[in-house]
């Protein structure tokens, strides 16, 4: 009975918690003294954040507040792909932050090659935006999970669908 155990490696973002973090950030910006009377705005789209403010300092402060709120809500900071600051209309500046979801093909290949380097009797394969790992022994799969948790791939990894 080979390949009777498996699990999936994914990189997902809890968008409800992200929305809550954005709402808390917007509320705090409205209450802070250094933002009184300024045009600071943060909008959450489907898979990106759009920030606009009067200057670079306020944009940076908004991002710091957002990161603080994300940490409190257990949303990984690795999901943010911060874009460059661009000038906008009316003397303001804007910034777009992409929210990374799923494991890209390059990261998937990196994860699979790392699993192969471990020299365990498991197979890893890329399936769309996730990686499936299967093997005969649960202990091998648990070792893979532990080793992946210890290594930083630049994305937040979750382990789901552990089947035996």
pLDDT by residue (tens digit) across 86-135? Answer: 988 888 899 999 998 888 888 888 889 998 898 888 888 888 888 999 98
Asked if the domains at 5-12+103-163 and 15-99 fall in one CATH topology, the answer is yes
Confidence of residue 3 (pLDDT cuts 50, 70, 90): low
pLDDT at 1: 44
pLDDT in tens, 48-84: 999 999 988 989 999 999 999 999 999 988 888 999 9
Give the residue extent of every domain in the chain. 5-12+103-163, 15-99
Residue 164 CA, chain-centre distance (Å), reads 28
The superfamily (CATH) of domain 15-99 is YajQ-like, domain 2 (3.30.70.990)
**Which architecture characterizes domain 5-12+103-163 according to CATH?**
2-Layer Sandwich (3.30)
């Amino acid at each position: 009975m080979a390949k009777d155990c498996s699990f999936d490696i994914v990189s997902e973002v809890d968008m409800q918690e992200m929305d809550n973090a954005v709402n808390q950030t917007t509320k705090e910006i409205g209450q802070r003294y250094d933002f009184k009377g300024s045009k600071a705005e943060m909008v959450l789209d489907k898979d990106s954040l759009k920030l606009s403010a009067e200057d670079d300092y306020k944009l940076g402060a908004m991002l710091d507040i957002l990161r603080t709120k994300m940490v409190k809500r257990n949303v990984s900071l690795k999901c943010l792909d911060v874009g460059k600051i661009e000038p906008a209309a009316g003397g303001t500046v804007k910034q777009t932050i992409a929210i990374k979801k799923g494991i890209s093909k390059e990261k998937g290949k990196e994860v699979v090659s790392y699993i192969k380097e471990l020299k365990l009797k498991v197979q890893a394969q890329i399936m769309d935006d996730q990686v499936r790992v299967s093997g005969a022994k649960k202990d091998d799969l648990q070792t893979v999970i532990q080793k992946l948790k210890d290594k930083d791939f630049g994305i937040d990894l979750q382990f789901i669908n552990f089947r035996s």
